[in-house]
Amino acid sequence: MAFYWISRSLDLSGTAAEVNAITTNLNNALAHNRWSVFLYHSEGGNQNFGAHLDAVEAFAQDLWIAPFGEVAQYIRQRDAASLEVMDSTSEQIVLSLSQQLSDTSFATALTLVVPIPPDWDAPGVFQGNEPLASNRMEDYVFFDAVPGAGDIEIRNVIPTPPPVPDNFSIQWQQDELHLSFASVSGFDYMLESSMDLSLDSWQPHATPGIQGNDEPLSFIIPTDALPPTIFFRIKVEVSQKHKE
């Protein structure tokens, strides 16, 4: 039994007119959710070969482009895989992904699309307690997982609230105001000050995004930056550090 659906197979000789045929073929494969296969007997330095590759690359955001053998191996492994729901609650979904192939060369990660509750804030995916890269689209989460590499857990990850800075120390030293407070790794800190009570009068006194390191953070504000006033207030903003 065939394990793939091919939209059309093109046997290319390297002519410029074939660029349009490639584009038409790929649009048809995309519209009907099928594979598209291009065959060359020999590239042979043909000057149009680069144009053919450019035509394929234009679909890179919408189609998976890979060698024929790699795609066939993926399909073979996908068709031999079994996915079972082990547990499902309002806070997590546990899946078991296995396959019936004994050949150890079939160890490719398979792409899974799993529905999740619409009220989940930030789904996180883990396999064997290791985080997996994932993307959410509406009420589905997409990720790649390896069969037999451990149970897959999809959790409704609640964002960690920013810690409230504590252990403040404020000292005037000559012409400078020295401020320090405890910091926590994984969070960024920004210091602002204001001379009045209006909500839009905050001014930054340090570069935004100073990273916490579980050690005290220190800021120095030159007093010549502060106009003479009998009122002065400071604010520390804490935000979750963004991953690169």
| pLDDT tens digits along 8-27 | 445 555 566 678 888 888 88
DSSP 63: S
Question: Is residue 74 assigned to a domain?
Answer: no
Question: Is residue 97 assigned to a domain?
Answer: yes
User: Do 236 and 187 lie in a common domain?
Assistant: yes
Question: Is residue 72 assigned to a domain?
Answer: no
CATH code, 147: 2.60.40.1170
H-helix or E-strand spanning residue 27: helix 18-32
Question: Is residue 49 assigned to a domain?
Answer: yes
pLDDT at 22: 84
User: Do 85 and 149 lie in a common domain?
Assistant: yes
Are 159 and 122 in contact by the 8 Å Cβ rule? The answer is yes
Question: Which structure tokens are listed for 204?
Answer: 């930054």
Question: Is residue 164 assigned to a domain?
Answer: no
Q: How many domains does the chain have?
A: 3
Burial class from Cβ neighbours inside 10 Å (0-12, 13-18, 19+) for residue 202 reads: middle
CA angle 101, 105, 108 (to 5 degrees): 85
| Distance (Å, whole) CA 244 – CA 232 | 36
First to last CA, the chain: 45
| Distance (Å, whole) CA 7 – CA 27 | 10
Residue bearing tokens 């795609």:
71
Question: Is residue 70 assigned to a domain?
Answer: no
Query: What domain range is 146 assigned to?
Result: 81-156
- How many helices (H) and strands (E) the chain has is answered by 3, 17
Question: Is residue 54 assigned to a domain?
Answer: yes
User: Do 56 and 86 lie in a common domain?
Assistant: no
From the list 171, 174, 153, 220, the residue with the least C-alpha distance to 193 is 220
DSSP 43: -
| Secondary structure of 191-218 as H, E, C letters | EEEECCCCCCCCEECCCCCEECCCCCEE
Residue spans of the chain under pLDDT 70:
1-17, 40-47, 103, 158-161, 195-201, 205-209, 223-234, 239-244
- The dihedral over CA atoms of 19, 71, 134, 79, expressed in degrees to the nearest 10, equals 140
* Alpha carbon of residue 120 to chain centroid: 17
Give 197-220 pLDDT, tens digit per residue. Answer: 666 667 776 555 677 788 888 877
Task: Please report, for residues 7, 68, 134, the alpha-carbon distance to residue 73 in angstroms, rounded to integers and kept in the order given.
Answer: 18, 9, 23
- The residues with which 218 forms a beta bridge, in sequence order, are 180
Task: Please report, for residues 25, 49, 67, 192, the alpha-carbon distance to residue 30 in angstroms, rounded to integers and kept in the order given.
Answer: 9, 22, 18, 52
| Distance (Å, whole) CA 213 – CA 188 | 9
pLDDT at 126: 92
User: Do 147 and 175 lie in a common domain?
Assistant: no
What pTM, to 2 d.p., does this model score?
Answer: 0.54
Question: Is residue 1 assigned to a domain?
Answer: no
| Distance (Å, whole) CA 48 – CA 54 | 10
- For residue 200, the one-letter residue type is D
